[in-house]
């Protein structure tokens, strides 16, 4: 999941908040685009994030394939499991935008998929990117050993015959409990953090499982958000089932 990257940011900037948005544009044949966006503008306003005061604006698009090729010698030293995980990131792109004058800082990872189930991997990709891209605190290959980097939570996506399902779940109950316990001291600082879903479908939505969701004027886009800490504690609160017109 993205939780490794999230944890790093929480430790470093617990005094301010960031906002997460998960977007998906789904085509009728099941293909589409998935993105995870992390808005750190409040951190920018808080100050102290940028060491080089001469940098005022950055707008960079990074191909993860090019990064993987650049670091292929280091990657070859990893376990087969970690190499396979990174291989899945070849079609990912990472956009980093920063404007110090307007106190804006946004990081967005996205990928196009042929089948919605491929979108599952973007969560892991977001965390792995923090180890690959220098600007995200990586630069050197610093992946944890396989036994130390087990996923705690997961998300699966399904789309068949006009019905879409997003199912978030806990994969390791004991490690999940330990993670929640370790976050308790930072909960008061993280209380304003939100996790938002914004999904667009090829046809009008006729039914959804989320009562407080909002919809676009054409009825094809659904949007809702939850408190980030609540989502970490209980991933089921971001589950979603949608039926669209035939």
Q: Which residue has the tokens 């604006």?
A: 57
Measured between alpha carbons, how far is 241 from 44 in angstroms, rounded to an integer? Answer: 36
Is the pTM higher than 0.85? The answer reads: no
Cα 63 vs. chain centroid, distance in angstroms? 17
Helical residues (DSSP H) of 25-148, grouped into ranges: 41-46, 64-70, 72-75, 80-87, 122-132
Higher pLDDT, 123 or 232: 232
Q: Sorting pLDDT into bands at 50, 70 and 90, what band is 159?
A: very high
pLDDT value of position 146? 39
Most confident of 35-49, 52-66, 223-237: 223-237
Between vectors from CA 82 to CA 80 and to CA 85, what angle results, nearest 5°? 110
Higher pLDDT, 40 or 169: 169
Mean per-residue pLDDT of the chain? 79
Which residues lie closer than 8 Å to 182 by C-beta, 6 or more apart?
Answer: none
* 244: pLDDT strictly greater than 60: yes
Mean pLDDT of 68-78: 85
Where do the structural domains in the chain lie, given as residue ranges? 3-244
Other beta carbons less than 10 A from residue 243's beta carbon: 16
Contact criterion met (CB below 8 Å) for 189 and 15: yes
Cα distances (Å, whole numbers) of residue 105 to 18, 59, 112, 200: 10, 10, 23, 25
* 4: pLDDT strictly greater than 70: no
3-state secondary structure of 176: helix
Q: Which residue has the tokens 């004058």?
A: 101
Percent of the chain with pLDDT over 70: 75
- For 153, the enclosing helix (H) or strand (E) is strand 153-160
Mean pLDDT lowest among 28-42, 97-111, 197-211? 97-111
pLDDT value of position 127? 58
pLDDT value of position 7? 45
* 158: pLDDT strictly greater than 80: yes
pLDDT value of position 44? 60
């Amino acid at each position: 999941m993205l939780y490794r990257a999230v944890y790093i940011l929480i430790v470093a900037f617990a005094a301010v908040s960031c906002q997460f948005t998960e977007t998906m544009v789904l085509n009728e044949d099941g293909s589409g685009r998935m993105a995870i966006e992390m808005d750190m503008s409040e951190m920018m306003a808080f100050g102290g994030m940028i060491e080089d005061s001469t940098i005022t604006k950055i707008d960079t698009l990074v191909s993860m394939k090019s990064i993987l090729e650049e670091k292929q010698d280091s990657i070859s030293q990893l376990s087969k499991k970690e190499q396979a995980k990174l291989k899945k990131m070849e079609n990912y792109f990472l956009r980093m935008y920063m404007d110090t004058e307007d106190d804006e800082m946004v990081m967005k990872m996205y990928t196009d998929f042929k089948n919605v189930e491929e979108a599952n991997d973007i969560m892991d990709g977001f965390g792995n990117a923090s180890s690959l891209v220098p600007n995200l605190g990586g630069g050197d290959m610093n992946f944890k050993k396989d036994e130390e980097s087990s996923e705690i939570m997961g998300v699966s996506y399904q789309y068949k015959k006009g019905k879409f399902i997003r199912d978030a779940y806990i994969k390791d109950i004991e490690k999940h409990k330990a993670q929640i316990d370790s976050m308790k001291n930072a909960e008061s600082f993280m209380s304003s953090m939100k996790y938002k879903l914004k999904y667009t479908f090829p046809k009008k939505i006729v039914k959804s499982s989320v009562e407080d969701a909002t919809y676009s004027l054409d009825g094809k886009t659904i949007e809702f958000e939850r408190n980030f800490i609540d989502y970490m504690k209980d991933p089921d609160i971001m589950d979603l089932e949608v039926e669209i017109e035939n």
